[in-house]
Amino acid sequence: MDNSRIETLKNILRNNPLDSFAKYALGLEYTSMKMYSEAKEIYEELIVTDPNYFATYYQLGKVNEALGDETAAKKNYEKGIFVTTSQSETHAREELQQALDELL
């Protein structure tokens, strides 16, 4: 486990709690270490503070799948599809749609 990256990201967030990139990166670190509950908490916070940070919906969906909550994963993918469509983010929308199709 690479605690140094996690601590660095936490320090960044202490200084700037609304840093979406740092929050997302912290979620990715937790996800890579299979610390899904911690990752879920971070991604859910990010969706509240920056609902247009569309990459979060994919990651949160995958974390919910890993936690066995397919209903929540489906909702995350669907919300992400809505957000990416409204932002004309075609590639990200396609990835979310693929994740949703694989879930169903």
Domain CATH number, residue 17: 1.25.40.10
Average pLDDT per consecutive 10 residues, the chain (104 residues; last block may be shorter): 86 96 98 97 97 98 98 98 97 98 93
pLDDT of residue 6: 95
pLDDT of residue 90: 97
Kindly state the DSSP code that residue 89 receives in the 8-state scheme.
-
pLDDT of residue 29: 96
Q: State how far the Cα of 60 lies from the Cα of 16, in Å rounded to an integer.
A: 22
pLDDT of residue 2: 61
Q: State how far the Cα of 43 lies from the Cα of 9, in Å rounded to an integer.
A: 14
Domains contained in the chain, number: 1
Range of the domain at 40: 3-103
pLDDT of residue 104: 86
Helices (H), the chain: 3-15, 20-32, 36-49, 55-66, 70-86, 90-103
Give me the helix-helix angle, 36-49 and 20-32, nearest 10°.
Answer: 160
